[in-house]
Amino acid sequence: MCTNYAAARRDRIFKQFGVEPPDSPWRDDAYKDYPAPIVRRVADAERADVATFGMVPRKHIPPGVRVFDTMNARVETVGEKRSFSGAWKRLQLCLIPCEAFYEPGYESGKAVRWRINMANGEPFAIAGLWREWDEGDEGKALSFTMLTVNSCEHRSCSASTNQVTRSAPSSLCDQPTMRTGSAAGLQMKRARS
């Protein structure tokens, strides 16, 4: 499951997703509790906002409760898990614009960071959920999580190696409102340390 990704660059959000980028800044690489752009529907129009990566930011975990990660929500259980079910039932869906995401590979017996991106270099989007937090005097803030599936059963994975193949099905790119990439496929390579 993804806990680090390369957020889409400001200059590419309008070109690829058709919305003005948010005014707030974000870093190129997003980790837990980092701000990053999301695209969501508000009042029947898409808009980009900056939100915190992780559905429940650390500052909202009550004292005495063990810190837990909410950067990924499994689609198989998203409606049942307390951290995600409210946003899921309210259809608070979003797109997470990114240049790439990172996953560990264990072929050598040790975790090696792999970068997964579109082969043609275009940004793409990951499906997500968002929620709003009341920050008191600071106003409202947003957070988000990525929706994930068990890739062992997916047709783009090999049952014997569980690795993503070099081409993704074109149906991933045929979204009715926004194009999230092209049929050029996915590319995996070792990330620079």
Q: Compute the average pLDDT of residues 69-82.
A: 90
Which range marks the domain in which residue 63 is found?
5-190
- 91-128 pLDDT tens trace: 999 999 999 999 888 888 888 888 999 989 999 999 99
pLDDT per residue over 15-73, tens digit each?
Answer: 999 999 999 999 999 999 999 999 999 988 899 999 999 988 888 888 888 878 888 99
Contact between 143 and 96 (Cβ < 8 Å): no
Task: Look up the CATH number of the domain holding residue 182.
Answer: 3.90.1680.10
Mean per-residue pLDDT, 66-93? 90
pTM given for the model: 0.79
- pLDDT at position 192 is 67
pLDDT given for residue 138 in this prediction: 83
Residue 89 exposed, middle or buried by CB count within 10 Å (0-12, 13-18, 19+)? exposed
Structurally, the chain folds into a number of domains equal to 1
Please count the CA atoms within 13 angstroms of the CA of 170 that sit on its side-chain side. Answer: 2
Instruction: Name the band, by pLDDT with cuts 50, 70 and 90, for residue 139.
Output: confident
Give tens-digit pLDDT for 149-193: 876 665 555 433 333 333 333 333 332 333 333 334 666 677 765
